[in-house]
Structure 1
C-alpha cells in the first residue's frame, strides 16, 4: 500500500481481532460491522413480541441514518429503549456503550463512512473468488485460478469504464455546477449529485450570514429536512491553484465524496461554475488517474492489462476446467494443466482456444468469448 496506513478497519466483534487491531494498526480506528450487530438484534429483543415490528422499524430508522447528529441519536435511542422496555437486556446496554464504533451518527467524522459501513464488500469478494477455487487445489492451481478471477474483474471494470466514456448524462437544472459534473462524473455518481443540485434549488434558502476572520459562515435553511446547516466558506483564493474552501455541518462530502445541496447553494450563489479540484473525488470521475499496479513478478502493468498472454491462456484453462468438472465433463485434470504450463507459448494458446471451442459446444457458461 506504499506505506499508507488504513484510517479505519471494519470487522465483526471477534474477540481475537478486537485485541489484535490496536496492536498492529496503531493509528487506525476500529469499527464494527453494522450488519453483524443488527443481525443479532431481533433475537436479543424477541421476535415473538407484539411490538417487535414497531421496535425494529424505529431502531433501523436511526441506526442507518447518517444525517443524525450525535445528540439526536443518543436521545432517540434512549427513548426507544425506554418505551419498549429493552433496558433490562444487558446486550442493548453493552451495544450502546460501543456506539462510537458502529453507529453512523457517531462515525460522521470519518471519510467515506457512508460507503464503508459493513464488511459486505469483503464478503462479496469472498463469494466472487469461491467461483474460481476449491479447497483441494494446490498452491500453483490456486494462484492461476486467482489470476483468472482478477482477469474477469478487470474485464468488468473495462466494461463500466467504456459505458461511462460513451454515455451522456443530462442535467436537470440550469446550474453550471451540474452541467460540469455531467461531463466529468460517472453515471451513478452524477445521479447522486443531480439529486443534491435539485434540492439546492427547491429546498435551500439563506438564513443568516456572519464573518469569522477571512471566512464567511452562512446558515442555510433546508426545508426538505427542516433543519439549518452552517456552511463555512472562504471566498478568497487559498492556494496557487485557485481552490476555494468550503465545509458544511452536514458533513455529506466527507461521508460520501459528493457535494451536499448546501455547499452547492453557496457555490452557485458565489458564481462558481466548476467544482473546485479539492471537491472532485477521483473515485467518482470518468477519467481518473489509476494507481500503478504490479504483476506477480513485481513488474508494472499499465491500465490494468495483464501483459503475459501465456498467463491469460492458462487462467482461462483453469476456469474452463473447473466449470467442466462441475458439469461432469472433466476433459482435463489439474495435473495435466500444471504440466501444460511448461509448454511453449504457442502450444498453450492453441490449447486454450480449443478448450473455448469445447466450452461452446457443451453450452458451458460464457467466459472470455471472442
Structure 2
C-alpha cells in the first residue's frame, strides 16, 4: 500500500496520509495500469487527485473509424495551460487559474476494450491542498437528501442562505460539506424551471395555437424567464370560460394531487355546476409554488375571465397562495380547506396523552357551534381543560378562525363547499390518462381527451334531468315547484330537507310589526343518542321572505328544513324566484342558449348546444 505524506506549507499539516486505491491495487497512477472502461480510469484518477488536492478534467479524446473513443487525456489541474486576457491591465489584473503546467494522465484501449494508462505526469509546480479539494467543481455534488431539503425550504419561502446554513450545521461544519452555497443556488434555479422534455415547449405552443385556430375562445398564456425559457403555462378553452360566467361565484384551487402522485405541477381552477359536479374553469402548469408564480397565474386567469373575480375562493393554508390571493383577489372571500386543517390534528397532538379527547373536542366545536360566540367560548374552555394555551399552532388557527370555522363562514354563499376536494376530484379525473412518466407535452394532449370524456358525461346528465323526473314524496305544491325547476341532484337535496321536516317542531312564535320570529327545535342522533337543537327563523309574510339561523340557504342555496316547516305552517304553495337559484336550474344551459341564439336558424342552435365549447365558431 502506498501513502502520500507531504507537509503542506499552506496548512502546516501532514496531508494525504490516507491510502490511494484502485480496484486492483492501492497506489498512485502508473503507466501500464489496466481498467475495464474509460470511466473507470477517470474515477481512479479523480480519487487520487482528491487525496492529493487538485482538480481534474477531460482535455482531449480520439475516436476510431467506428466512432468509438479509444484514447483520452485528463489534465490534472484547471491551471494547466496558459490563459491570456485582453481586459487585464497593470492596474486591473484579472484573476486566472492557469499557470502553464504539463501535469496530465493519458490512456488508451486495445481491441478487447481494455484500457491502459500510457502516460503519467504527476509534477506540480504549485502547492496542493487536500483540505481544498471539496471546493473544486469536479468534486462538488448535492445528495438526494440535501436536494429535497432545499426544495421543501424554497417552497416554504425560507431564504436560500438560511437553508444552506442549516445543511452546514446538520453536516457538522463546512469542512464536512461536499458543495458550496453557489451549488445550492444553481440547483434551486434549475428546479424552478418548468420540467420540459426536448421539444416540449415548441410542441405545447404549436398545440395551443392549433386549438386557438379551431376556437377563437381558446385562451393561453406563457410565462418566460429572463433568458426566454418557458416557466409557467395557463390555458382555458371556451367551455371553461362560458362555465365560469354561470358557476364562477365560488372557486377551489389546489396544486397537490398530481404534483404528489405524478410529479406533475398541475394547478386547476375548479367550480361546481348545476348538477353539483366539479367543472374545470382553467388550469396551469407551474415551475414553482411561490408567491410570484401564483400572482402571475391568478392575474392571467382573471384576465381570461374578463376581470370578473370570484365571490369566494377555497385553498389550503399555503402562505404563497394566501399572499397571491390578497394581491389579485382583494375583495374575494378566502377560505381555507377545512379537511386539510382537521387532517393535521393527529400529527399535531400525537404526543399528547389526551389526544383522542382533544381531537373529539375540536371536531365538536367546528361542526356544532352555531355562532361565533359559542365557538370562541368553547375554544378557550378547551385550551384551559387540556393546558394548550401556549400551543403555537392552535394560536395561529384561532387568529385566522374566520378563514376556516364554518360558523364564521356560513352566512356567505360557498355552493356547499368547505374543502378543496373539488380540485382533488378534478385531478383524480385524470387517472387513467396520465402516469408517472407522462411528459408535459403528453399531459396537455391527454388533458383534452380526459376533458372531452367529462363533457360527454355532463351532457348525459343534462339529458337525464330534461328527460326524467324524480317523483314527489309529498302533496305540497312547494315540492312540485322545485321539481320542475331544479336538476335531479339538487331537487334530491331539497327533498332531503323536506323529509327532514318531520324531525322539526315549531316550539314558539313571536309576532312583530313586520315579521314573525319562530323557534324551531330539531331532533338529531349523535352516537345513538337523540339530541335537540334550536333554530330561529324570521319570516315576513307580506314579502314572503325568511332567514334561518342555520344559514343553509345562504351557504348552499337550498332551503333548510326549519324554514320549510314555517312555510308549510303558513300554507305557502310557492316561494319567490330568489329562493330558486339560477345556478341550480335544469334549464340554465337552455337559458344561456336562448340569449345567444336570437336570430339564428334552428340548425345553428342545435349545433350550438351540441358543441358549446365551439360557440364562437358556430355563430
TM-score of the superposed pair, with normalisation by structure 1: 0.69
Q: What is the CA-CA distance between 1:306 and the residue it aligns to? A: 6.0
Change (3 A) 1:42 1:137: closer
Q: Summarize the Cα distance change of 1:96–1:216 in structure 2 as closer, same or farther, 3 Å threshold.
A: same
Q: Please state whether the residue corresponding to 1:303 is helix, strand or coil.
A: helix
8 Å contact kept, 2:312–2:414: no
Which of 480, 494, 497 aligns to 1:193? It is: 494
Q: Structure 2: how far apart are the matches of 1:166 and 1:188?
A: 14
1:10-56: CA deviations, max 9, x gaps?
A: 2222222222211111211222121222222211112x544322322
SS at match of 1:86: coil
Please give the secondary structure, in 2, of the residue aligned with 1:122.
Answer: helix
C-alpha distance 37-166 of structure 1, shift in aligned 2 (>3 A): same
CA contact (8 A) 1:184 1:285 kept: yes
In 1, the alpha carbon distance for the partners of 2:387 and 2:335 equals 27
Q: Distance in 1 between matches of 2:522 and 2:325?
A: 43
- CA shift for structure 1 position 181: 2.4
8 Å Cα contact 2:552-2:559 kept in structure 1: yes
**Does the 8 Å CA contact 2:372/2:407 hold for their aligned counterparts?**
yes
Q: CA deviation at 1:137?
A: 4.1
Which of 121, 128, 136 in structure 1 is aligned with 2:439? 136
Moved more, 96-105 or 221-230: 221-230
Q: For residues 89 and 307 of structure 1, what CA distance do their matches in structure 2 show?
A: 51
Q: Is the 8 A contact 1:45 1:86 kept in 2?
A: no
Partner residue, 2:393: 91
Given the superposition, is the C-alpha separation of residues 148 and 111 from structure 1 closer, same or farther in structure 2, using an over 3 Å criterion?
same
Match of 2:346 in 1: 42
> Do residues 218 (structure 1) and 522 (structure 2) align?
no
Cα gap change, 1:85/1:304 in structure 2, threshold over 3 Å: closer, same or farther? farther
Q: Pick the aligned partner of 1:282 from 564, 573, 582.
A: 582
Aligned CA distance change for structure 1 residues 148 and 20 (closer, same or farther; 3 Å): same
Question: Matches of 1:72 and 1:137 in 2, distance apart?
Answer: 50
Residues 147-184 of structure 1: CA deviation (Å, up to 9, x unaligned): 22221111111222233334432333332212332343
Q: Quick one: distance in 2 between partners of 1:289 and 1:270?
A: 34
CA contact (8 A) 2:504 2:562 kept: no
Separation in 1, partners of 2:489, 2:380:
37
How far the C-alpha of 1:94 sits from its partner, in A, is: 1.4
Q: How does 1:176-255 map to 2 (within 5 A)?
A: 176-205=477-506, 207-212=508-513, 215-224=514-523, 226-237=532-543, 244-255=544-555
Residues 129, 231 of structure 1: alpha-carbon distance in 2 compared, 3 angstrom cutoff: same
1: CA distance, partners of 2:393 / 2:610? 47
Matched, 1:24 2:328: yes
Report the TM-score, using the length of structure 2 for normalisation.
0.43
1:202-238 per-residue CA deviation (whole Å, 9 max, x = no partner) reads 42315122324xx31322322426444333333335x
Compute the displacement of 1:129 (Å).
3.3
> CA 1:137–1:5 in 2, change beyond 3 Å: closer, same or farther?
closer
Is the contact between residue 154 and residue 304 of structure 1 (CA under 8 Å) also seen in structure 2? no
Runs of at least 4 residues of structure 1 off by over 4 A?
none
Distance in 2, Cα, partners of 1:159 & 1:36: 33
Q: What SS does structure 2 have at the residue aligned with 1:302?
A: helix
Q: Which moved more, 1:117-126 or 1:269-278?
A: 269-278
More helix by share: 1
Distance 1:131 1:154 in 2: 16
Query: Counterpart in 2 of 1:147?
Result: 448
Distance 1:155 1:204 in 2: 44
Q: Does 1:14 align with 2:313?
A: no
Give the secondary structure class of the aligned counterpart of 2:393. Answer: helix
* Counterparts of 1:168 and 1:9, CA distance in 2: 33
Kept in 2, the 8 Å contact 1:204–1:261? The answer is no
- Cα contact 1:33–1:102 (8 A) shared by 2: yes
Number of paired residues? Answer: 290
The answer to whether the 8 A contact 1:220-1:231 is kept is yes
Cα pair 2:520 2:537 within 8 Å, conserved: no
**1:323 — aligned with what?**
none
Q: Which residue in 2 is equivalent to 1:305?
A: 611
Residues 319-338 of structure 1 mapped to structure 2, 5 A cutoff: none
**TM-superposed deviation, 1:84:** 2.4
Please identify which structure carries the higher strand content: 2
Summarize deviations over 1:77-105 as a string: whole Å, max 9, x none.
22223222333321111111111111111
Say yes or no: does 1:73 pair with 2:375: yes
Measured at CA, do residues 202 and 12 of structure 1 come closer, stay the same or move farther in structure 2, by a change above 3 Å? closer
CA offset digits 1:231-271 (Å, max 9, x no partner): 3333335xxxxxx3222222110011110122212322333
- State the distance in 2 between where 1:199 and 1:126 align: 34
| Secondary structure, aligned partner of 2:509 | strand
SS in 2 for 1:170: coil
Partner of 1:88: helix, strand, or coil?
coil
